[in-house]
Amino acid sequence: MAAPADVAMVTDRLGRAPRADFEVVVRDEAGAPVVVLNAPFTADGTPMPTLYWLVDPGLNLQISRLEAAGGVRDAQAAVDADALEAAHDAYAAARDARIPSDQAGPRPSGGVGGTRIGVKCLHAHYANLLAGADDPVGRWTADQLEREEERV
């Protein structure tokens, strides 16, 4: 469970209260949350497929612009399919390891961004990369953000 100050800051960054318990796993230079690790279930028991969540508003905006410009399609075409599948499998395994073995009812499913195949959400892949995973779409996204910074 996150500290009250982190809950307040993440609430402010999301514009709403978080729906699941979380812990901050990546912070910026000032100590503000950038990526959170979500519990596998929301407070009401709904499965939460997104393990790592990008909560930095500036990065979210940049990645939203990248997605709007066709980034999901471009990332899908650029990355190795086997490496992407491995990232989905590792993400699902990390999330599933946090679920008690006696958990009854629906469980979260899918890999990064809740999908098993392909690319669904650059934000989720980038958060996964920042949290330390080997994520080819996260790396592709980081490269695109770096190129955009160089153009500015």
Range of the domain at 121: 4-151
pLDDT of residue 127: 98
Answer whether 28's CB lies under 8 Å from 9's CB.
no
Instruction: Output the 3-class SS for 80-101.
Output: CHHHHHHHHHHHHHHHHCCCCC
How many folded domains does the chain comprise? 1
Nearest to 40 by CA among 108, 129, 128: 108
Residue ranges in the chain whose pLDDT is less than 50? none
Length of the chain: 152
Percent with pLDDT over 70 in the chain: 100
CA distances from 8 to 11, 42, 124, 130 (A): 5, 17, 22, 22
